[in-house]
Amino acid sequence: MKRKITLLDGAVGTTLWAIAEAHGAKKEPVWKYNIEHPEFVRELTEKYLEAGSEIILANTFGANGPAVKYSSPYSVKEVITAGVNIAKDVLKGSDAKLCMGVGPLTQILEPYGDLEEDECFSIYEEMIGIGVEAGCDMIMVQTFMDLAMMRIAATVAKRYGVPVFCTMTFEKSGKTMFGNSVQDTIDTLVPLGIDAVGLNCSLGPDLALPIIKEFAEKTTLPIVFKPNAGKPILSADGSSSAAYTAEQFAKDVAPALEYVSYIGGCCGADSTYVKELKKLL
């Protein structure tokens, strides 16, 4: 039986900054746009829906308590509820699922940093509870380099009775910046009962292929693959462009279709990349 591959969306952060720049707005933590420029978030969601994304991220990734308190006068509830409501409104009447994006904290857990485990749990409980209550169909815990923090976020997410996907960010070495391997990731997260596992961000599709293949070889869980469109290349005139064109990105992703169940893009990959992935599928 042929495996169904579900088309995800592309980057939220870099795409929202591009939309903001096109409208002459300044670069902010993107969760602020939920309240200050909801039209940017609506445009982002509409573009991914039009491109064929079957699961679309709400603009909630970095909207955790410490970040929101540090950078704005808003509450986490205001920011996340606004982000979810914008996306829900766009997706109304479509078959696309709305996914809450949950990212790592800027603080580092003890013993390497000052963040205590209990505090970390509380931060994610607040954030994820609000997102699910607002109406997210599922949760994507993504872009983590620290498996200990990922375990906490995933443990919290699993309490809410919706599908939970977990994706780590790897270096070329096949390990995260904190030294976590694919096997470590599987050993830690699979027992929690998560619904899919894999990689996002970090690398372009060609460099990430060996890592995503290793996931497929070591677990029977569905695999998620959202590589970057490459680190931006700066031109002499100060402008930047993605290292991979949409066409090259899709071509480099193609070998992964043998073993992934969910495919999309991360930093630098906008709706034009999703359209190329849709053609590929």
Quick: pLDDT tens for 59-78: 999 999 999 999 999 999 99
Apex CA 201: angle with CA 266 and CA 148, to 5°? Answer: 135
Whether 273 is in a domain gets the answer yes
Whether 124 is in a domain gets the answer yes
Task: Give the number of other Cβ atoms within 10 Å of residue 259's Cβ.
Answer: 15
Q: How many domains does the chain have?
A: 1
What is the average pLDDT value for the chain, to the nearest integer?
A: 95
pLDDT, tens digit (0-9, with 9 covering 90-100), for 30-56: 999 999 999 999 999 999 999 999 999
Q: Say which CATH number the domain at 150 has.
A: 3.20.20.330
Whether 134 is in a domain gets the answer yes
Whether 41 is in a domain gets the answer yes
Whether 1 is in a domain gets the answer no
Q: Quick one: pLDDT band at residue 96, thresholds 50, 70, 90?
A: very high
3-state DSSP assignment of residue 76: helix
Percentage of residues of the chain with pLDDT beyond 90: 93
Whether 211 is in a domain gets the answer yes
pLDDT of residue 243: 77
Domain range enclosing 48: 6-280
pLDDT of residue 1: 47
Whether 269 is in a domain gets the answer yes
Quick one: 80 exposed, middle or buried, by C-beta within 10 A (0-12, 13-18, 19+)? buried
- What would the mean pLDDT of 233-253 be, rounded to a whole number? 77
pLDDT of residue 242: 61
Q: Quick one: pLDDT band at residue 240, thresholds 50, 70, 90?
A: low
